[in-house]
Amino acid sequence: MQIELIDTFLDLCETRSFNRSAERLGVTQSTVSGRIRSLEASLGRPLFLRSRAGTELTTEGLRFEPHARALRRSWTEALNATRDAGPGGVTLRIGIQHDLVGAHFANLIREFRALLPDASFLFEADYSQQMCADLVSGAQNLGLLFSPRLHPDLYFETLGEIWYDMVSTETDALTHVREDTYILGNYSPAFAVSHSAQHPGLGGATLSVGQNAAMVGLLRSLGGSAYVLRDSAREMVEDGTARFVADAPAIPQTVFAGLHLRQRHRTTHRRLVHHLHAHFGTEPPRKRR
């Protein structure tokens, strides 16, 4: 089965650009064109209209798209069924947002194994965009992520919130936080919107980091002020590395569970999501003294 033809077709459905699909797939534009021609020849129908205005799906292409998604999903399920199955015959591939690894990773492994003792688990730390792509392709069964990506094949549920607090090695007052030593957290688009609304004067920071562990490392080595996860903030305050910036509001980050629509109602996946709702109870903002 030439699954790369299906992959190329589906990617082009999203990008509507042969150049962009070539970049994303790591091939040349001529390779993308050749694959589409081969697929069109096999089907005996044109799938795309090419013009100076861009690339658009034909009527036949629009009709073929849901079947292509089903073919891609079936192929992935067939591959998964023939490799690395656990003792109970089930292997679950779970993506988890990088910033959730430290605070929740060990507990989740223990809880999931207790919940499904006959299953095998493959956990991978990643970012939301890649997890959504892996859920669409079937490379992952479940994603714990910050930024859902709207897609006809994906389903998301809100699990709860985690919180980021501002700490500083220099001050405990927001008015004394210096923009030239401030490190901007780039944890998610939602975080960026909240931060911009709360701190318009700190948007010009020259250093930005998108991972909590890296942010903690920078604060410990360079000093300055930044938002870090609540558990990390407490650790830094307790060991004397930093102080809470007392009048800086905490910024929440919603955590979502992502699933492929075809797996939404499967018993195993529903048990995992139900457990995740209990695990990620919404924590209220930290009370300031």
Can you tell me the distance from the alpha carbon of 28 to that of 8, in angstroms, rounded to the nearest whole number?
Answer: 12
Q: One fold for both 91-160+254-279 and 162-252? A: yes
Contact between residue 260 and residue 73 where contact means Cβ atoms under 8 Å apart: yes
Report pLDDT digits (tens) over 237-282.
Answer: 999 999 999 999 999 999 999 999 888 888 888 889 988 988 887 4
The answer on pLDDT for 139 being more than 80 is yes
Angle formed by the axes of helices 3-15 and 18-25, nearest 10°: 130
Q: Give the pLDDT confidence score for residue 104 in this predicted structure.
A: 62
| Maximum average pLDDT range among 78-87, 162-171, 210-219 | 162-171
The answer on pLDDT for 175 being more than 90 is yes
* Cβ neighbours of residue 35 closer than 8 Å, sequence gap 6 or more: 4, 5, 8, 9
Q: Is 247 helix (H, G, I), strand (E, B) or coil?
A: coil
What is the mean pLDDT of the segment spanning 161-165? 94
Band (pLDDT 50/70/90 cuts) for residue 103 is low
Paired residues of 160 in beta bridges: 255
| Per-residue DSSP letter, 182 | B
Can you tell me the distance from the alpha carbon of 133 to that of 153, in angstroms, rounded to the nearest whole number?
Answer: 10
Report pLDDT digits (tens) over 22-46.
Answer: 888 888 999 999 999 999 999 999 9
Mean pLDDT, the chain, whole residue set: 87
Paired residues of 144 in beta bridges: 96, 257
Cα Dmax for the chain: 71
Q: Give the pLDDT confidence score for residue 51 in this predicted structure.
A: 81
Number of other CB atoms surrounding residue 76 within 10 Å: 18
Query: Which residue in the block uniquely carries the two structure tokens 């030239």?
Result: 180
The CATH class for the domain spanning 3-81 reads mainly alpha
**Higher-confidence residue: 20 or 54?**
20
Q: Which of 48-52, 169-173, 271-275, 282-286 has the lowest mean pLDDT?
A: 282-286
Give me the amino acid identity at 266. Answer: R
What is the mean pLDDT of the segment spanning 169-193? 95
* Cβ neighbours of residue 149 closer than 8 Å, sequence gap 6 or more: 128, 129, 132
Kindly write down the DSSP assignment for every residue of 207-230, as one continuous string. EEES-HHHHHHHHHHH--EEEEEH
What is the mean pLDDT of the segment spanning 110-131? 87
Angle formed by the axes of helices 3-15 and 59-81, nearest 10°: 130
pTM (global) more than 0.75: no
Q: Residue 106 — φ and ψ, nearest 5°?
A: -60, -40
The arrangement of secondary structure in 162-252, i.e. its CATH architecture, is 3-Layer(aba) Sandwich (3.40)
Contact between residue 137 and residue 11 where contact means Cβ atoms under 8 Å apart: no
Contact between residue 245 and residue 225 where contact means Cβ atoms under 8 Å apart: yes
Number of other CB atoms surrounding residue 131 within 10 Å: 27
What is the mean pLDDT of the segment spanning 91-109? 81
| Maximum average pLDDT range among 31-35, 106-110, 163-167, 200-204 | 163-167
Distances (CA, A) of 256 to 13, 148, 157, 179, 253: 26, 7, 6, 32, 10
| Per-residue DSSP letter, 248 | S
Query: Quick one: fold of 91-160+254-279?
Result: D-Maltodextrin-Binding Protein; domain 2 (3.40.190)
Kindly write down the DSSP assignment for every residue of 147-175, as one continuous string. S----TTEEEEEEEEEEEEEEESS-SSGG
User: In the structure encoding, which two tokens stand for residue 155, read together?
Assistant: 């389903």
Tell me the CA end-to-end span of the chain in Å, nearest whole number: 64
Q: Give the pLDDT confidence score for residue 106 in this predicted structure.
A: 75
